[in-house]
Amino acid sequence: MSKWRKVTSIALAAVMAFSLTACGTGKQAAEAPKTENKQATEQPAEKVKLIYARGKDVTGATEKIVEAFEKKYPNIDVEFREMPADTGQSHDQYVTMFSAKSSEIDVFDLDVIWPAEFAQAGYLLPLDRFIEKDQIDMSKYIKGAVEAGNYNGQQWTMPKFIDTGLLYYRKDIVKQPPKTWDELIAQARQYKGKGGTQFGYLMQAKQYEGLVCNFVEFNAAYGGKILDENGNVVINNPNSIKALKKMMEIVKSDIVPKNITTFTELESHTAFIEGQAPFIRNWPYMYALAQDKTQSKVVDKVAIAPLPAGDAGSAATLGGWMTGINKYTKHPKEAWEFVKFMTGPEGQKITAIYGGSAPTLLPVYDDPEVQKASPLFANKDFINGVSAAVPRPSSPIYPKISEIIQIEVSKALAGQQTAEQAVQNMEKKMKEAIGK
């Protein structure tokens, strides 16, 4: 989980509650869900032990995946190694291990913004030959999740589960959710003050990673690009300028709080569940908060939709986790079998039902058990929303790229520079950073 996704203990508790609720009544202690009995691939001749590392999992889904995998592949044992809950600490521990060419772990989960960095550093085993050999249909995965694991034309990770920006709205106030950003502005102004609301729209506009996510959504919705497929800086283009102008129009308008540039997920979701606005852009975790009777004033009054479209369509920033193989593993074939299982239909079904995490493999949403696990997974608007997810710029120096975007977009939102000046400054600084 990236830094900007850290919320208060209340929010985290709500997310945890959602994950546990997703387990379904009476299923917490049951066996893993029924999965298709597909013919197992050829078993290794000798017993092999794999070490799989990921952050803390309070849901128990990981243990169920390992149990189901070992049952299908009796000659492969998988040991789950828990990494720190702090994503930054996990990242640094991986870097320390892999830079020393350690084969200590075989398979590990990566935040969606890590693959390019880890691929360039030589920490990951490319997966293209495995994908081709086993004829994995990557078109069945959410496109943005696949792209997040692709760097320099190669696939380095498989998508495990997804997190993405969504539009929440008050269905007791709003008749039809807006299809475009212009419609949202009009409706936010129309419904502001209705049903006890004070504002029209809420978002995350503070100078931090969440601001980058909001900007990426506007930029992609209007057809703008930050980096091209080869990692070249292309942000100084008319579409990106138009996107930033639309973002500035909203932030400077009377539909948002005057101090919107101090809002992170915490401030925005708090205002929304207190009934202060008919619209908010936020992540899937907020659904559970909105339904929590102990703190929400909008229980059973909230619906979701894809984020509004710009000239190029709807776009939502991709969050979530990927799974990759340590380049220095001594068991690449067996490691791939585990990655394939965990990110395939069987593993993603378990992750959805017991972990409460949104699948990246679209056919999994059609499974009745998955739909029963969470109302979100049966909601076509949610599925369309996550399907519109786009990754943040794929770069081995992503943290620096993010910092530049935060600073320059913040200056534009504060009225300290025009949209044209902001993209020019981003272009110059990003080229300098990449050149170094």
At 88 the pLDDT is: 84
User: What was the pLDDT predicted at 20?
Assistant: 32
Spell out the residues 6+ positions from residue 281 whose beta carbon is closer than 8 angstroms to its own.
165, 166, 167, 168, 201, 202, 203, 204, 214, 217, 268, 307
Q: Do domains 31-162+319-390 and 164-317+393-435 have the same CATH topology?
A: yes
Amino acid letter, residue 129 = R
Distance CA 123, CA 100 (A): 10
User: Terminus-to-terminus CA distance in the chain, angstroms?
Assistant: 28
pLDDT digits (tens, 9 = 90+) for 350-401: 999 998 899 999 999 999 999 999 889 999 999 999 998 999 998 999 999 9
Answer whether 176's CB lies under 8 Å from 307's CB.
Answer: no
Q: Beta 48-54 vs 107-111: how paired, if at all?
A: parallel
Q: Model confidence at 15, in pLDDT bands (50, 70, 90)?
A: very low
Can you give the pLDDT at residue 45?
62
The whole-angstrom separation of Cα 17 and Cα 257 is 30
CATH architecture, domain defined by 31-162+319-390: 3-Layer(aba) Sandwich (3.40)
**331: DSSP letter:** -
How much is the pTM? 0.79
pLDDT at 237 (0 to 100): 98
CA angle 24, 77, 162 (to 5 degrees): 45
- 3-state SS, 270-315, equals HHHHCCCCCEEEECCCHHHHHCCCCCCCCCCCEEEECCCEECCEEC
Q: Which CATH class is domain 164-317+393-435?
A: alpha beta
User: What confidence score (pLDDT) does residue 57 get?
Assistant: 86
Query: What's residue 264's pLDDT?
Result: 95
| pLDDT band, residue 288 (cuts 50/70/90) | confident
pLDDT score for 17: 39
If 0-12 CB within 10 Å is exposed, 13-18 middle and 19+ buried, where does residue 186 land? middle
Q: What is the pLDDT of residue 1?
A: 44
Closest alpha carbon to 131 in 154, 101, 152: 154
pLDDT surpasses 50 at 292: yes
Which two three-digit tokens encode residue 346? Answer: 């069987």
Confidence check: pLDDT of 405 > 70: yes
What is the reported pLDDT for 229? 84
What pLDDT, in 10s, does the model give residues 331-341?
Answer: 999 999 999 99
Residues in contact with 369: Cβ distance below 8 Å, sequence separation at least 6, in sequence order: 33, 34, 349, 353
Question: Which residue's structure tokens are 């979100």?
Answer: 376
Question: Residue ranges of the domains in the chain?
Answer: 31-162+319-390, 164-317+393-435
